[in-house]
């Protein structure tokens, strides 16, 4: 496979195409009203109408978005395309909650805790966050790893 366009991943993720996809991803759907597509084109700084409509066509052809009469919606495949961006957010939230539970456990005495919280605290501060982060990272690996054909796997 020959790469004709050598770009960094960070450049690709900051392109108009992926910033537009990220906006649709964040909103879940965008209402198609008079002038919506023109506002999107101008907001993201597309140089021409054709560049914007080519990106929108790319999203539809790759099944990243669905468009009907009223809405442009992100698909499950479109969400997975941006998993590399939203994944660290999930990891950060889990880590922050782990830190919060740890601090609450450290600053309050065990006798002052609700008995249910005291019983669950070791699970919530030890086992559960580690398992969630581990499962998340395994899933991230499965999504992002290159898919090799049988011929490519057989290469020695």
Which region among 1-5, 121-125, 137-141 has the lowest average model confidence (pLDDT)?
A: 1-5
Would the pLDDT of 12 be above 60? yes
Whole-prediction pTM value?
0.66
C-alpha–C-alpha distance, residues 44 and 21, integer Å: 11
Q: Which residues of 143-155 are buried (b: 16+ CB within 10 A; e: fewer)?
A: eeeeeeeeeeeee
Strand partners, 84: none
Tell me the fold of 9-80: Arc Repressor Mutant, subunit A (1.10.10)
Q: Give me the residue spans of the domains in the chain.
A: 9-80, 83-146
pLDDT tens for 89-110 read: 777 777 777 777 766 766 766 6
């Amino acid at each position: 496979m020959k790469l004709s366009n050598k770009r960094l991943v960070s450049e690709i993720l900051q392109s108009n195409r992926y910033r537009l996809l990220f906006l649709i991803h964040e909103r879940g759907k965008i209402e198609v009203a008079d002038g919506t597509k023109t506002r999107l084109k101008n907001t993201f700084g597309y140089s021409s109408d054709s560049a914007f409509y080519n990106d929108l066509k790319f999203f539809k052809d790759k099944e990243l978005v669905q468009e009907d009469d009223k809405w442009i919606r992100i698909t499950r495949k479109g969400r997975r395309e941006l998993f590399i961006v939203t994944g660290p957010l999930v990891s950060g939230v889990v880590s922050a909650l782990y830190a919060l539970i740890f601090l609450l456990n450290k600053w309050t005495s065990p006798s002052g805790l609700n008995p249910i919280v005291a019983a669950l605290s070791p699970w919530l501060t030890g086992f559960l966050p580690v398992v969630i982060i581990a499962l998340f990272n395994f899933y991230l690996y499965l999504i992002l790893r290159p898919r090799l054909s049988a011929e490519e796997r057989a290469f020695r």
